[in-house]
Structure 1
Amino acid sequence: MSLPDSMHVLQRGWLSSNNILFIGREQTALVDSGYATHAPQTLQLVAHLLQGRPLDLLLNTHTHSDHVGGNAALQQAHGCRTVIPAAEAPAVRDWNEDALSYRATGQHCPRFRFDATMAAGDTLVLGDMEWQVLGAPGHDPHSLILYCPSQQILISADALWENGFGVIFPELEGEPGFDATRATLEQIAALDVRLVIPGHGAPFSDVAGALQRAFKRLDYLAADPARNAQNGIKVLVKFRLLEKKRIPLTELRQWMHDVPLLATSNRMHLRMEEDALADWTASQLVRAGVARVEQGTLVDC
């Protein structure tokens, strides 16, 4: 699973997306910047690899908070040009936190600027290699992925992981997303890929196996949209727990009540009482072994 010498993958935890750093002869570039909580660490990791060079270019595959949360810090530190998906330009320009999903998901992101946009069909030079920009709706309607034909490398963001893909967020609000996810997976299957760098998790080379698992999971979720809603709610609460480490159950119930996307998804798909939803979510995280309850507090583990 060798990478070109000009390319470095910074694998992060599930609170922050992976960062892909390119050090070319004439330009340095970073794809995605992680979550705001980890911005100081992002700066340190990038600076260590740059060894005194500035970061010239910052690109975002999509504008979810765990992929753009370090943008403002990187811009302040390096003055880097920033490129975002074209469809997100109005929301970022006006800093519309509803359109950008930050208010709906109960997450935060420091305001950042952008200098240019990219869209499906564009080509980029990163690390002295040519990359194709491909549309990848599903997890996010405006998400993009990057493909380098000469190296057979795919930067898949949250469109394909080694075991699945990111939450299909449009479906949580009753908007179509399953068909778009399927089309994106079929597009990836048609590419000649030897190595995938996902938005979360380690790079992997068993692309056929990952696609098989992704299609199977998609079929499972599409057969009953409530399953996607349950998954999405658990993911958003786990994300909050990763950030806070410990959350009193009374605080969790209030937070889930205040987060619009959780309330909407519950109303449309699960129809549980609010306190019951919070208690169910906590129990599911405990059952999965990713949290525990200590004296009325949900604790990350």
Structure 2
Amino acid sequence: MSGLFVPIDGSGTASATNVLAPNASPMTLDGTNTWVIGQGETVLIVDPGPDDEHHLRRLVELLGERRVATILLTHGHPDHSGGAATFAAMVSAPVRALDPNHRLGSEGLGDGDVVTTSDLELRVIGTPGHSADSLCFWLPADAALLTGDTILGRGTTVIAPDGDLADYLRSLDKLRAMAELAEARTLLPGHGPMLPDPIGKLDEYLAHRRKRLDQIREAIRAGAKDVPEIVEMVYADVDRSLWPAAEMSVAAQLNYLKNL
């Protein structure tokens, strides 16, 4: 999750605009990307972000006279969903998510669903792995894929305690095949800058995971006995502030190797 700072507030595509939340950290990079989808009378909001009053009020102001049809969550981690209930009350809109605990309203959200506004549609893709409830969204109008934390704008994502590496690898394969078939042009991540080469980035992610698994196997052969020792050997080139996150990923990788 390292790299040079790239300002992305206000960036996007013809139909998607980023509003960057002020919650920068080693885990969230420059902050959470809240995506406004659509340019018509009604829009969709993907990931309102943390429950930060300034961010949510700024988002309302930027919408102007446009109405929010639905608030969508890529997953339920608080840096993406924490502000959903507050924002829903501000704009009188439902919240749809895979996890029922994060919904406000009667409708769920899952793989294959299509969500529309006055001028476009989003197609829902189930992508468990980073978390059990992770979703991505395909925006056909711009050939763009909104990836939440499944793919980041810089660095690589963590397999959280509520995630699973086997699921994650299947999700990456699924997105790779879909990006090629649909001729995807852009990835719009939940953190970090837009990515202009979807297939290249997905290939990079898959190669990275294979490399890490090989490194963990080698660390075990070299005598590493537990997760902290593996992290110390495999992630020696990573800033120590990210080692707690690395421990989560190593635990997920050990579980994956155990079940092969």
Pair 1:178–1:198, CA change in 2 (3 A): closer
Paired residues for 1:167-182 under 5 Å: 167-170=158-161, 176-182=166-172
Match of 1:76 among 67, 76, 89: 89
Find the counterpart in structure 2 of residue 284 from structure 1: 240
3-state secondary structure, aligned to 2:124: strand
1:166 to 1:34, Cα distance in 2 relative to 1, 3 A: same
Q: 1:10 aligns with which of 16, 19, 30?
A: 19
User: Identity across aligned pairs (percent)?
Assistant: 22
**Structure 2 match to 1:35:** 50
Q: Which residue of 1 aligns with 2:227?
A: 269
Report SS of the residue matched to 2:97: strand
CA distance in 2, matches of 1:48, 1:204: 27
SS at match of 1:217: helix
The 2-side partners of 1:59 and 1:128 are apart by: 17
CA offset at residue 9 of structure 1? 1.4
**TM-superposed deviation, 1:3:** 1.9
The residue correspondences of 1:79-158 to structure 2 (distance < 5 A) are 79-85=92-98, 88-89=99-100, 92=101, 113-126=104-117, 128-158=119-149
Unaligned runs of 5+ in 1: 94-111, 228-266, 288-301
| TM-superposed deviation, 1:22 | 2.7
- 1:212 aligns with one of 203, 207, 213: 203
1:119-178 C-alpha deviation (Å, 9 max, x unpaired): 1111121461122111112211221111123421111111222444421125x8887445
Question: Is the CA contact (8 Å cut-off) linking 1:153 and 1:197 kept in structure 2?
Answer: yes
Superposition TM-score, scaled by structure 2 size: 0.69
- Does the residue aligned with 1:55 lie in a helix, a strand or coil? strand
Structure 2 unaligned regions, length at least 5: 1-10, 219-224, 244-260
The question of whether the paired residues in 1 share the 8 Å contact of 2:96 and 2:104 is answered with no
Partners of 1:3 and 1:143 in 2: CA distance: 23
Equivalenced residue count is: 215
2:128·2:168 contact (CA, 8 Å) conserved in 1? no
Which structure is higher in helix share? Answer: 1
